[in-house]
Amino acid sequence: MRGLSRFMDVHDRYILKWQQALDSGDASSLDFMADEYYVTFFWGEDNRPVYYERQEAFDGMIQSVSQLRGAKKLFEHRVIRMRDDDHAVVFFEQIIQMGNRVLARMLTVENWAIIENQWLMTREVEEHL
């Protein structure tokens, strides 16, 4: 349970940093990605997944934060499970909204690991709803 409690603090700070980034338009504090990080997006049943490695994903995130300045990113129905004390998996429904308007909804699975004494995200899967 000790590992879960510590990781929850890390992920709570990650969520806070996301909101601060969207408020300011500055994504520089969101670099929680391991060197080997990658993300896969599933955009619908008729499309093949889109895959981005770390640098492409980070560049895209910077662009998105700039374009979505003032939006809210909600982490709904979050579930965290520990593989062991050094590895965590997080599942949640991600909702991006501007005012009362929902811009995007997706199911997200994040994999995190302790690398060089810090929690970093190693991979992510996004399924758009």
In this predicted structure, what is the pLDDT of residue 1? 55
What is the chain's mean pLDDT, rounded?
Answer: 94
DSSP secondary structure string, the chain?
-HHHHHHHHHHHHHHHHHHHHHHHT--GGG--EEEEEEEEEE--TTS--EEEEHHHHHHHHHHHHHHTTT-EEEEEEEEEEEEETTEEEEEEEEEEEETTEEEEEEEEEEEEEEETTEEEEEEEEEEE-
Mean pLDDT, contiguous 10-residue spans, the chain (129 residues): 85 96 91 96 87 95 93 97 96 96 97 97 97
In this predicted structure, what is the pLDDT of residue 43? 86
In this predicted structure, what is the pLDDT of residue 44? 76
Sorted by where each begins, the domain ranges of the chain are 2-128
Q: What is the CATH number of domain 2-128?
A: 3.10.450.50
